[in-house]
Structure 1
Amino acid sequence: MVQEIIRIEGLECNHCVVRVGRAIASVQGVMEVDVNLEKREAVVNFEETRTNMGKIRTAIREAGYEPL
């Protein structure tokens, strides 16, 4: 399992946190996600044999936010 920290532009409220968390969690292979509003980042644990950062970043963009 791999852990990555992704800075996310546009996180402004708890609704944003929920939306981004659900988007990331929906990516097959993501095992755990913790989105932090204060830090404006997500800590993602995923199986690198089942997904990759490109897919996770795409899910964030599709939710309306920009991964940095």
Structure 2
Amino acid sequence: MEDKVLKIEGMTCSACAKAVERVSKKLPGVVEANVNFATEKLNITYDESKIKLSEIQSAVEKAGYKLLVQTTNKTLKLEGMTCSACAKNIERVTRKLNGVVTADVNFATEKLTVSFEPSLVRTSDI
């Protein structure tokens, strides 16, 4: 189980806070979700084997609010790709890593741009 406190932007009233709670609680793998409107924070407990933080973030954003995740962005040089299928495979595998929020490969420049939570995954793991 993973416990996180995440910053929410865009809430203007307590009904907004309830909406974020409702959306979060409906997600598979979420055990508990509580929003504090005054501090603009979402306290969430979830099973990281069932749902990724990026999926929670997407759900909150679909509801009209912004979930801020503290991430690090890196661009890494890749070697050995021979086609765009290689690039897609690298993206798919990288996105599965716990703590990776986004992963995009540019086949032409042979670079992987990745956004990740340094508390969960290291660059060497990627």
RCO higher in 1 or 2 (8 Å CA, sep ≥ 6)?
1
Aligned to 1:33: 33
Structure 2 segments unaligned to the other structure (5+ residues): 69-126
Distance 1:6 1:58 in 2: 13
Q: CA deviation at 1:52?
A: 1.1
Report the Cα offset of residue 64 of structure 1: 0.2
Q: Distance in 1 between matches of 2:39 and 2:52?
A: 23
**Structure 1 ranges of 4+ moved more than 6 A:** none
Unaligned runs of 5+ in 1: none
Tell me the residue number matched to 1:16: 16
RMSD: 0.7
Three-state SS of the structure 2 residue aligned to 1:3 is strand
Higher helix share: 1
Residue 39 (structure 1) shift: 0.5
Q: TM-score if structure 1 supplies the norm length?
A: 0.95
The CA distance in 1 between the partners of 2:9 and 2:17, in whole Å, is 11
Distance in 1 (alpha carbons) for counterparts of 2:48 and 2:67: 19
- The TM-score normalised by the length of structure 2 is 0.53
Letter aligned with residue 15 of structure 1: A
Identity %: 29
Q: Distance in 1 between matches of 2:58 and 2:30?
A: 13
**CA deviation string 1:12-44 (max 9, x = no partner):** 211101110011111100000010001101010
Distance in 1 (CA, whole Å) between partners of 2:63 and 2:45 is: 19
